[in-house]
Structure 1
Amino acid sequence: MAINTSVLPDQPAGWSAANRRAINQLLQSVGNCSAGYDPARKPYAVFDWDNTCIMNDTEESLLLYQADNLLFKLTPAEFAEVLRQGVPEGVFHPDYTNLDGQPVAMAELAADIDEAYAWLYAHCAALGGTQPLAELRASPQFQNFRAKFYYLYGALCDTYPMEVGYKWIIYFYKNFTPAELQAMVADSIAYNLAESLHQAAIPSSEQQPGRAGRVAPVHFYGMRVHAEIVALMATLRANGIDVYVSTASIDDVVRVFATNPLYGYNIPAENVLGLKLEMADGKYTNVYKKDWHFNWGPGKTIGIRNVFVAQKGYGPALVFGDSDGDAWMMKDFADTRLGVIINRLHAGVIGQNSLQAATTLGQPDARFLLQGRDEHTGCFNADERTLKYGQTEVRLLA
């Protein structure tokens, strides 16, 4: 029996009933079965990537994978430079204390990380020393490096504008070629897809508390493919609707996941829009690309206007996202029929969009939709409400 490509398939079954109806209505009104469809003016959809197309975050998982395996191409002097690049001096947000409840300052934390990295650089074969990494994992230096490096990323994101932390994370790709970066990303994706979904602390050394004291940042391990998004992207293309990704990660990291046929998204590499670094001699530098916008929040609207609208002459018909990084691109284009929010129970600007979605839930003219998921499984749950990790009751709003 032929498949009706003008509607979403019934399987996978994780869409809420109202969302399935709304998406099918959009497919029938703008897709290639609609009366006004023009193949020379194809409608298009824009998806955020992390925590929208997948469960959890490709680039943040990569950061810990880099630290866990000491996958850096930086001398201690280069590392110290990148570590401080674009980071203000001073004490972090009050939530970022050490395990003794004392405030943590950038100067002390960076000095501890420098000291640990220099020791590992001199000793570990992964960085040019002679000892296997496996023999050093229990060392205070490795424990401090891993915990404090990851802690710093969270402190940056929660203390300063997102541009500080999101650019900082990509500067550590300095001296990688694109092929080397993509190989590391592919390994990280495979590792994290095989890992169970769980949250766990990363404690620094008890023996060597250092200048900043002991810390224990929490990481959400594992990633999952959202099968409903995979099926939707295929259905959109079958209906003559192009599919693009707009990410606040560097574009080359997300391309590894989004373009690999193994995962089913099948996004053309050129359809991924994200952050960019300047290149030198075929390698990434720690210089953000000149005149390139910061592709987060209002910057995603700028990116869509400067790239997609500049090419096509019109905005997206459908936009997907999960956070404030996506809230503006969901609401800034007159051509957008639906903004679909993967419901992470966030406040902020995305919370305003979510409240509007909740107010108009099930209505045929709803501008925003909420799609829930179960964070214990990483799967959509056929509901607008989400079950947060570690909780037992689903909720609709933050």
Structure 2
Amino acid sequence: MGAAAAIAAGTLVATAPAAQAAHCTAPRLAAGWYGDNRARLQQLIDEYGTCNPYRPSRTKPVAVFDWDNTVVKNDVGDAQMYWLLRSGKIRQPAGDWTGTSRYLTPAAARALADACGALARPGAPLPTGTPAGAGCADELAAVYGTAATRSGAAAFAGWDHRTIEPAYAWLPQLMQGWTAREVRGFAAAARAENLAAPVGATQRVGTADVTGWVRYYDQQKDLIGGLQKAGFDVWISSASPQPVVEVWARGVGVAADHVIGIRNTTTSGGKLTAHLQGCGSVKDGADTMITYIDGKRCWINKEVFGVRGAAAEKVQPAARRQVFAAGDSDTDISFLRDATALRLVVNRNKNELMCRAYDDSDGKWIVNPMFIEPKKPKSTPYPCSTTGYVDHDGTPGPVRRGDTSIIPDQTDSVYQGVSAK
């Protein structure tokens, strides 16, 4: 029987690929998932992986994970900010503090100047880890963590709420003057501390006690490894700084060239500037498009699928989109919606995300409680029909499906203690 006839008859031909197919075993996911989520994820691997059927020449299916509170518990950007403050690694800006962010308000710039201005010369690190620098550390932490000064004045203004979060962007901007290699060293130190600290630990930053620990989610690490073994092209898309996420991503087997974080522009000498790389129609240094909501879509289209120019800001044809995506926050909405086969949501009670996930209009959403210290069920419905969506100018409104119909309010129904397998 010839090869063509054998294939038509449904029999294996004794070729090298067929021999490999006969011995191919799809990775099996470990337990620890809510409801039938493990079965749904396993179905994804079985359907799109290299074993079913064995097709070594086909394009790899793409899977994209958010990082903070999706792959790890807690936020590695926060962990890095706290480490920078404790270690005195944030530099006094050369001019007014508004040079660190185009969105920083005059009130915030004045508060920072009052708290930090006398502590170091321009370009020198601020002594935020010392008693003398505690007030400066507190002001920096307030602006970063609450988007307000210690006195309650708004710290940022005038941004597009679907493409950038100024407080997130401010962290890499505060790293100006260091090289990416130096920042990776800072990240390695912060990572070691946060993994060694017990669950629930706090640390003193300035005069406040803040979160002092991070953990990888075993289930997500297992899922990423299983997808990779099954032939998926796995990427991380995060609104934490690029060099920081690169260091953390190694812990789940994702290389630096598959990490998309917030990216600074650099000087000719390789030092980070206070400006950010752009995407789509946004040029480098415009500081308006980071890996945040629609910005995540743009950066994934650009880096993963090679889409250039303004087209990267648009939803691509199904063949040029990820088959799987995982996230935990409204910041992940756009790239989750772009996934063509399955979308995993880690439930942190975020309005727009949970409205869409629970509505599940196309049957491709699955929800899982947080794997460590899961949230309690939300006591009131998600306000999908009224204020669950935040528009570009920050105005709240109803969450709409692709056909523009309004999603009705949704009840929180996936939480620990209901069903876990």
Instruction: Find the aligned partners of 1:370 and 1:346 in 2 and give their Cα distance.
Output: 12
1:147-198 CA distance string (max 9 Å, x none): 2211111232896544311221111111112221110100001111122333
Equivalent runs, 1:112-191 vs 2, <5 Å: 112-115=114-117, 118-119=118-119, 121=120, 127=125, 137=130, 139=131, 141-156=132-147, 161=161, 162-191=164-193
Residue identity opposite 2:101 in structure 1: Q
Counterpart residue number, 1:229: 220
1:85 corresponds to 2:81: no
Quote how far apart the aligned CAs of 1:219 are: 3.2
Instruction: Find the aligned partners of 2:192 and 2:359 in 1 and give their Cα distance.
Output: 37
Instruction: Find the aligned partners of 2:176 and 2:104 in 1 and give their Cα distance.
Output: 21
Which is greater in Rg? Answer: 2
Quote how far apart the aligned CAs of 1:271 are: 0.9
1:117-170 CA distance string (max 9 Å, x none): x33x38xxx9499xxx9xx74x3x332122221111123289654431122111
Task: State the structure with bigger RCO (CA 8 A, min sep 6), 1 or 2.
Answer: 1
Instruction: Find the aligned partners of 1:146 and 1:15 in 2 and give their Cα distance.
Output: 40
Instruction: Find the aligned partners of 1:128 and 1:273 in 2 and give their Cα distance.
Output: 29
Tell me if structure 2 keeps the 8 A contact 1:337–1:367. Answer: yes
Quote how far apart the aligned CAs of 1:373 are: 2.3
Q: Gaps spanning 5+ residues in structure 2: where? A: 1-22, 149-153, 308-317, 380-411, 416-421
1:68-101 CA distance string (max 9 Å, x none): 11123x3x343753675223426xxxxxxxxxxx
Instruction: Find the aligned partners of 1:77 and 1:231 in 2 and give their Cα distance.
Output: 43
Counterpart residue number, 2:366: 369
Q: What do you get for the CA RMSD once the two structures are aligned?
A: 3.3
Residue identity opposite 2:276 in structure 1: Y
Q: Which has the higher helix share?
A: 1
Instruction: Find the aligned partners of 1:257 and 1:306 in 2 and give their Cα distance.
Output: 22
Counterpart residue number, 2:10: none
Tell me if structure 2 keeps the 8 A contact 1:83–1:110. Answer: no
Counterpart residue number, 2:354: 351
Counterpart residue number, 1:95: none
The 1:249/1:79 distance shift into structure 2, 3 A limit, reads farther
Equivalent runs, 1:260-271 vs 2, <5 Å: 263=251, 265-271=252-258
> What is the total number of aligned residue pairs between the two structures?
328
The 1:219/1:374 distance shift into structure 2, 3 A limit, reads farther
Quote how far apart the aligned CAs of 1:64 are: 1.0
- Indicate the larger mover: 231-240 or 29-38: 29-38
Instruction: Find the aligned partners of 1:243 and 1:233 in 2 and give their Cα distance.
Output: 7
Tell me if structure 2 keeps the 8 A contact 1:175–1:285. Answer: yes
Equivalent runs, 1:242-321 vs 2, <5 Å: 242-259=233-250, 263=251, 265-280=252-267, 281-290=269-278, 291=283, 293-310=289-306, 314-321=320-327
Quote how far apart the aligned CAs of 1:303 are: 1.6
Instruction: Find the aligned partners of 2:133 and 2:169 in 1 and give their Cα distance.
Output: 24
TM-score (norm 1): 0.73
Counterpart residue number, 1:45: 63
Quote how far apart the aligned CAs of 1:41 are: 1.1
Counterpart residue number, 1:65: 83
Instruction: Find the aligned partners of 2:126 and 2:47 in 1 and give their Cα distance.
Output: 59
The 1:315/1:374 distance shift into structure 2, 3 A limit, reads closer
Tell me if structure 1 keeps the 8 A contact 2:75–2:214. Answer: yes
Instruction: Find the aligned partners of 1:375 and 1:145 in 2 and give their Cα distance.
Output: 33
Task: Report the 3-state secondary structure (helix = DSSP H, G, I; strand = E; otherwise coil) of the residue aligned with 2:320.
Answer: coil
Residue identity opposite 2:52 in structure 1: S
The 1:229/1:288 distance shift into structure 2, 3 A limit, reads same
